[in-house]
Amino acid sequence: MKLIIASSNKGKLKEFSALLSPLGYEVYSAKEAGIDIEVEETGKTFAENSALKARAIYDICKECVLADDSGLCVDALGGAPGVYSARYGGLESEKERTALLLENMKDVPEDKRTAHFVCTIHFIYADGREIAVEGRVDGKIAFEPTGENGFGYDPVFLYNGVSFASVSQEEKNQVSHRANALKALLGKLEKGE
């Protein structure tokens, strides 16, 4: 079954494909499906942003669409970068945003460096029915980046003391916020919700 992912983020597409392909979904980015629009993320929550993206793509293609919005919420920073994770500090690159995060955390002691990744998924069936779910994974912010895998804030997000960038894609796909959101989505899909 064709499933269009409302994202051009190569890291996300790789994760979604790895998690959904075994279930029979043919995963395509919007661009691969011939849809080339940029949806402005004007929502104040992850759920609002994922719904905006899914509905914009669905209105064009009328096929199964999955959109997510995800980000890192750091307790010591009042939940920042939150919905602005991909635009944190107005910076362009992942490396710059990660460096800014570490700079903003430089005086925060280890026991106060708690954080979590959140992922909301908005799924629209070809017939227009909609499902919204959320996944989360708790961890801490490292003092410096480690690891070569992953993307975004993975090098500084510690899960059980190891950065997400230091584990294999398969390991991350067992525990990540995106994996947890997909598990919730699959539970609803199996019930026909």
- Any idea which residues carry the catalytic annotation? 69
130: closest CA among 48, 181, 54, 21?
54
Contact yes or no for 112/166 (Cβ under 8 A)? no
Per the listing, tokens 């669905």 go with: 58
Run of H or E residues at 163 = strand 162-163
Buried b (16+ CB within 10 A) or exposed e, 140-161: bbbeebebebbebbbbbbbbee
Per the listing, tokens 């004007």 go with: 42
Tell me the C-alpha distance between 120 and 24, whole Å.
22
Q: Which residues are within 8 A (CB) of 185 and not within 5 positions of it... i.e. 6 or more apart?
A: 66, 121, 123, 131, 133
**Residue 109 CA, distance from chain mean position:** 27
Contact yes or no for 153/101 (Cβ under 8 A)? yes
CA 8-9-13 angle, 5° bins:
90
